[in-house]
Amino acid sequence: MFPTFPIRSMEQHDADLQVVLETRKPYHGICGTNSLMQFQDLDHVKAEIPDYLHAVCQGVIKFFIELWTKTKNHKNPWYLNKQKRAIFDLRIKKIKPPHEITRTPSPLTRLSDWKALEYRAFALYYFCILEDLLPKIFFDHFSWLSYGLQVLLQDEVSVEKVKEVEFLFSNFVRETETLYGVKHIRFNLHLLTHLSQSVLHWGCL
């Protein structure tokens, strides 16, 4: 089992902020005061909610697709070569998305034009077409993200399921380092570990 770390509390935030004010240097991700601190009864640690559309859709999902398709990664086992990308494009053209998807699925050749909702649709509905194109270990790893998003994007979800996704996303981030290397760890990946707490405090994504 992977080790876990306590969620930052207001008390810990205030202690870290004091270090920042004394040293005038960022500490534990804190750079200084913010305007929310003027509201004394507001827990501004919980009030700052990750923006999943940008952090996850245009952040994490886009990051992985680019990682798989950029030619600079051609020596890595997860790389989708020209032939595999062509197969992906043929398959995605045949997909008939559900009614809630308003954009027609776009091929990888138009990846630069993809919007946030297209990245979300890929993770939720289209990712399965990569099953025999990505090595199984990388396919299974990304499927954790796909499943977790499906759970947190529901209109209603049980606390038990949210806790399950919290554990899953923590493992997802740690396995990203194992599979892809520490150099590919990004802040948006870290934000995944906070999504479940955000759902518990404020509701589904």
State pLDDT tens for residues 139-190: 999 999 999 999 999 999 999 999 999 999 999 999 999 999 999 998 899 8
- Contact indicator for 81, 74 with CB cutoff of 8 Å: yes
Residue 3 pLDDT exceeds 90: no
Whole-angstrom Cα distance, residue 153 to residue 148?
A: 9
And the tokens for 190?
């870290």
Whole-angstrom Cα distance, residue 157 to residue 10?
A: 27
Query: Mean pLDDT in the chain?
Result: 89
Say what the pLDDT of residue 103 is: 80
Q: Read off the pTM.
A: 0.85
1 Cβ contact partners less than 8 Å away, ≥ 6 residues apart: none
Average pLDDT over residues 106-130: 92
Cβ-count burial 49-64 (b if 16+ within 10 Å, e if not): ebebeebbbbbbbbbb
The distance from CA 125 to its chain's CA centroid, rounded to whole angstroms, is 16
Give the pLDDT band of residue 96 (cuts 50, 70, 90). confident
Give the pLDDT band of residue 1 (cuts 50, 70, 90). very low
Residue entry with tokens 């796909």:
146
- Contact indicator for 172, 193 with CB cutoff of 8 Å: no
Whole-angstrom Cα distance, residue 145 to residue 169?
A: 7
